[in-house]
Amino acid sequence: MIIGTAGHIDHGKTALVRMLSGVDTDRLKEEKARGITIDLGFAYVPIPGGGTLGFVDVPGHEKFVHNMLAGATGIDFVLLVVAADDGVMPQTREHLAIIDLLGVERGIVALTKADLADASRRAEVETEIRDLLTASRLSEMDILPVSAVTSEGIDVLRARLLAEAAGAARRAGAGRFRLAVDRSFTLAGAGTVVTGTVLSGTVAVGDRVMVSPRGLTARIRSIHAQNHPAETGQAGDRCALNLAGEAITKDAIHRGDVVLDPELHAPSDRIDAGLRLLPSETKPLTQWMPVRLHHAAAEVGARIVLIGDTIMPGGEGQVQLVLDRPIAAAAGDRFVIRDTSAQRTIGGGRFLDLRAPARRRRTPERMAQLAAHGIEDPRQALAALVAAPPAFVDLKVFARDRALGSDEIDRLTDELALTRVPVQATTIALSPANWLTLRRGLLVTLEAYHKDNPDLAGMGLERLRMASTPRLPAPAFAAVLQGMAKQKEIALDGAWVRLVGHEVRLTPQDETLWRRARPLIAGSERFRPPRVRDIGGQLGAAEMDVRHMFKLLGRLGRIDEIAHDHFFLRGTVADMVAIAVDLAAQAPDGQFTAAQFRDRLDNGRKVAIQILEFFDRHGVTLRRGDLRRINKHRLDLFRRPAEESGPETNDNGREASLVGRPDFKSGKGREPVLGGFDSHSLPPLSRSAR
C-alpha cells in the first residue's frame, strides 16, 4: 500500500514518517540545511507476513505544491497531518482539496505535536478538522493524536496503517503498463534509473517499453518494487526501473514523463474533461482561461475552453483543455489545475476524451459522445459509445486511450456481441442493431438505384457510403463491402457496387439508336469508323446520346473506345489483334512497325497509331522505339463478343476479357481492386442523371 502525506509546512510530516519507518526522507542537502521538505521523499516498511508499506513524503510549503502533486498521484492512502498547536492552515486546506480532486478515498488524520496541546486545544483543533473534512470524500477519516517527541500514538498509528494495508485489495494488474516518472538519475554500474508509481498494468524484466511523450524506446534491465529487487512490477507498486536504450540518459527523461507499453504511445494536447471548480474560488471559469495543469507527475500550461454552461465556484461542468505541449495520459485519469502564478489550486477532475475535436464541440452528437466517455466502467462506456453518433467505435483507440489490454477489449466486444470490421491496423466495432441497419440499408439503396438507373453497372462507392447509415470512414466502408461481396450479397466492379443479380441493359431508346449506328462502324469501314460527332450528324441524333450509348456498350464489352470518341466493334478489335499477330509472325525478329500495321488496315497513320497505343496500354503489344512485338499472354483480352462468336470462354478457365471493366489495369497477374479504373472505363452518366 502506498501512503502519501499531506499537510501544511512544519506540521511534522517528515518527522512522523521517520518515526513510522526509521527513514529520514529529507535527502537533499538544502532540505537538511533549511529544515523543510522541498522535494519528494520515500520510505518503505516491511509488513509482517509479506508486503511493504511505501511512504511518499511531500513538501508542505506553498511554493512546492507542484512537487506535492507529483507525489500525490497514485497513492492508495492519505496521511493528512495537522499540528495541534497551529490547527488547520492554508496548505492543509489546499492539500486536502488536491487529495479530494485526485479521488483518494481512504486515509487518516494525524494530529501531530500533541505534546504541545492540552485536551481543550486538541478538541478545538479536532472540531476544525471535522468542519474541513465535511465537504470532502474523506469526511469519515479518523483523527489520531501523535507526537514525534513523546511517541504518543505512534504505535497505534502504525498498527492502524498495517491493518489498512492488510485489508486493502491489491490493484488489478490488468490493462497495459504505465509508470509516472517522478525521478530520473544515474546509478553507478547500472545506468539510467527512473522511479515512479505504476498506474496500470504489469511490467517484467526484459520488456520493451517507451518513454512518452518523447517516444524514446527502451528495455527494462532490472526492477526494484517497494525498494526490493523484483522480476515484475504492477499497478500500485512504487518501482525503480533500470532502463537501457540508444537515447536513454538521465537528462533525456524528466519528471512528468510516462514509461509505458509502446501500444499506448499517443500523446495528446487537446483533451475533453469533466472539471469541478473549488468553492474557494471567487469567480467562475472564463473562456480561454490560462491555468497550470497537473497530471500524474507532469505539469504543463493549458487553456480552458468551456463546452457547456459557465462553471461557478463549487460547480461542475465539461471543458476542453488545450495544452501547451502534449502529455501521456489515459481516459479516466485525474488531474488538478492551479492558477498561472502557482499560488492556489483552482479545481480538477477527470479526463474524458483524449482525442477532442477542435471544432463542433457543443453539437448534440458531441455531447452524447462525451456522456459516453464520462462512464468509468469500460464495458458500459463502450456500449454507450457504439449507441451514440457516429454509431461505431475504433476499438484500437478506445483500448489504447483507456490502457486496456487486447484480451480485455476482446472480452468486452464479445460480451456486447459487437460486430468487428478489421480495417488496416485497427478494428471498427458496431452494435448488432447498427450493423443490421447498415447491411439492410445498403441492399435497399442499391435496389432502388438499379431500379432508377437500369443502364448503369452500379452505384459509385463513395456515393453509396454517403447514403449509408451509419456512415463509416472510407476504409471501414470498403472493408464492409468486401465482406459482403465474399458472402455474395453484392458485387464489386472497381469503384462501383451492384447487387449480384443486376445486369446492365440498354433502354429501348438506346437499342433503337444502336441498331441504326452499328452499320456505320461495321462493314468495309470497320477499321476507320467515324467518330461520335460524325455518327450523330449522319443519324440526326444528339452527340451526347450517341456518346452515352457507346460508353454503355463499352462497359458491356461489345465495343472498345480506342481513342476519345472513337469506338470500334469488339469483333473489329479482335481482327486488328489478329493482323498484328500475323505481322509479327511474318517478321524474322517478331517485330513490326506502325507503317506496316497501317498498310494492312488501310486506315491512315493517325488512326493506326491510336490503335497501337491502345494495344500498348493494355499490354497486347510491347513497344521499343518504333518497333512493336506481341505479348502472347494478353491475346485473350480482345475477342469477339458472345453475340458474334459464342460464349466467351477459354481453355485455361480464366474469366473472359477484362477490357471494358472498371477494375481493369494492364499487367500480368494483377487482381481487380477497388478504385482501379482508368479514364476510358468510367461509366457513362445515366439519362436520368443528365
In tens, the pLDDT along 468-492 reads: 999 999 999 999 999 999 999 999 8
Residue 230's domain comprises 178-264
Higher pLDDT, 677 or 494: 494
CA distances from 596 to 87, 290, 577, 593 (A): 109, 80, 14, 5
Which range (202-216, 380-394, 610-624, 651-665) has the least confidence? 651-665
Give 421's pLDDT tier (boundaries 50, 70, 90).
Answer: very high
Q: What are the backbone dihedrals phi and psi of residue 12, each rounded to the nearest 5 degrees, phi first?
A: 95, 25
Percentage of the chain lying above the pLDDT 90 cut: 66
| pLDDT score at 28 | 54
| Max CA distance (Å), the chain | 124
Q: How far apart are CA 549 and CA 526, in angstroms?
A: 18
Claim to verify: residue 358 and residue 273 sit in the same structural domain? yes
Claim to verify: residue 375 and residue 347 sit in the same structural domain? no
Claim to verify: residue 405 and residue 418 sit in the same structural domain? yes
Q: What's at 191, amino acid-wise?
A: G
Claim to verify: residue 146 and residue 32 sit in the same structural domain? yes
How close are the terminal C-alpha atoms of the chain, in Å? 74
| pLDDT score at 648 | 37
**Sign of the torsion angle spanned by Cα atoms 455, 456, 459, 460:** negative
C-alpha cell, 12: 511534522
Claim to verify: residue 553 and residue 626 sit in the same structural domain? yes
Q: Is residue 327 part of a domain?
A: yes
Grid cell 483524449 in the structure block, residue:
354
Give 30's pLDDT tier (boundaries 50, 70, 90).
Answer: low
Reply yes or no on whether the pLDDT at 225 is more than 50.
Answer: yes
| pLDDT score at 120 | 93
What residues have CB less than 8 Å from 378, skipping those under 6 apart?
402, 404, 408, 412
Task: For residue 169, give the DSSP letter.
Answer: P
Average pLDDT over residues 162-172: 73
Give the residue from 232, 200, 588 showing the smallest Cα distance to 403: 200
Q: How far apart are CA 26 and CA 36, in angstroms?
A: 8
State the alpha helices, DSSP H only, in 423-565.
432-452, 461-467, 474-486, 508-517, 532-539, 543-555
Give 21's pLDDT tier (boundaries 50, 70, 90).
Answer: confident
Number of domains in the chain: 5
Q: Is residue 468 part of a domain?
A: no
Q: What are the backbone dihedrals phi and psi of residue 663, each rounded to the nearest 5 degrees, phi first?
A: -100, 10
Task: Using the 3D structure, point to which of 117, 141, 167 is the last residue of a domain.
Answer: 167
CA distances from 653 to 636, 649, 650, 656 (A): 12, 7, 6, 9
Q: Is residue 682 part of a domain?
A: no
Average pLDDT over residues 158-177: 79
Claim to verify: residue 624 and residue 595 sit in the same structural domain? yes
Claim to verify: residue 358 and residue 374 sit in the same structural domain? no
Q: Is residue 422 part of a domain?
A: yes
Chain segment 597-630, per-residue pLDDT in tens: 999 999 899 999 999 999 999 999 999 999 999 9
* Mean pLDDT, the chain, whole residue set: 87
Claim to verify: residue 73 and residue 47 sit in the same structural domain? yes
Reply yes or no on whether the pLDDT at 666 is more than 90.
Answer: no
Q: How far apart are CA 218 and CA 292, in angstroms?
A: 30
What residues have CB less than 8 Å from 512, skipping those under 6 apart?
none
| pLDDT score at 244 | 94
Claim to verify: residue 300 and residue 234 sit in the same structural domain? no
Claim to verify: residue 141 and residue 98 sit in the same structural domain? yes
Chain segment 40-98, per-residue pLDDT in tens: 788 888 887 777 888 888 876 667 677 888 878 778 899 999 999 999 999 899 999 99
Domain at 602, CATH number: 1.10.10.10
Task: Using the 3D structure, point to which of 362, 395, 417 is the last residue of a domain.
Answer: 362
Task: Output the pTM of the full model.
Answer: 0.76
Task: Using the 3D structure, point to which of 395, 430, 465 is the last residue of a domain.
Answer: 430
Higher pLDDT, 432 or 173: 432
| pLDDT score at 525 | 86
Claim to verify: residue 293 and residue 418 sit in the same structural domain? no
